[in-house]
Amino acid sequence: MKFSAIRVDYHRAYAAAVLADFAGSFNPKVVEAAYGLGFPRPLLSGDRLYTYHSHGIIGWGRITPHPEENAVFIGLGVWPARARQGWRKDIRAHLASVAFQECNEFPVRQVIIGVLTTNIEHLARCQHEAVDGGPWRSSGVVWYPPPGHYLFTLTKGDFGRIVEGL
């Protein structure tokens, strides 16, 4: 699917407004289950935030560096009206592409997604994709602090398997 990605972290107030608008488009209990307490969180130094558009806004994606592990963590969301249309995978692939090809602060060797145990449907999708031999692999579970989250990792070596069509 085709979309436009616009980097918006340079405009901190706008970036915060985008995330707040996204959170406001869901029931607060849904947001808490998917993103935890305190969402949206402020951008950290070095974070990148993108918005995605195709005939209106689709979603957002965030890259947070973790240089000690030569990794970045990503987070993303798709607006309710655009959910279940395949955009999540496209946004995730774009974020991985940016991380591996454009993050020059340190050599990124892996992209990691954390999925809260309370985000049951999304966790099941990610686990299914990992079991099906996709390039994203289940890489651990962190139980503390509660509610805990599963980690899914894409290595630079597996990156080529997802970039067709970007």
Taking alpha carbons only, the member of 103, 133, 2, 108 closest to residue 55 is 2
Please report the domains of the chain, with CATH numbers, ordered by start residue: 4-161 (3.40.630.30)
More confident residue, 12 or 164: 12
Model confidence at 28, pLDDT cuts 50, 70, 90, reads: very high
Over 60: is that where the pLDDT of 162 sits?
no
> What pLDDT, on a 0 to 100 scale, did the predictor assign at position 14?
93
More confident residue, 155 or 131: 155
> Has this prediction a pTM greater than 0.85?
yes
Whole-angstrom Cα distance, residue 149 to residue 118? Answer: 8
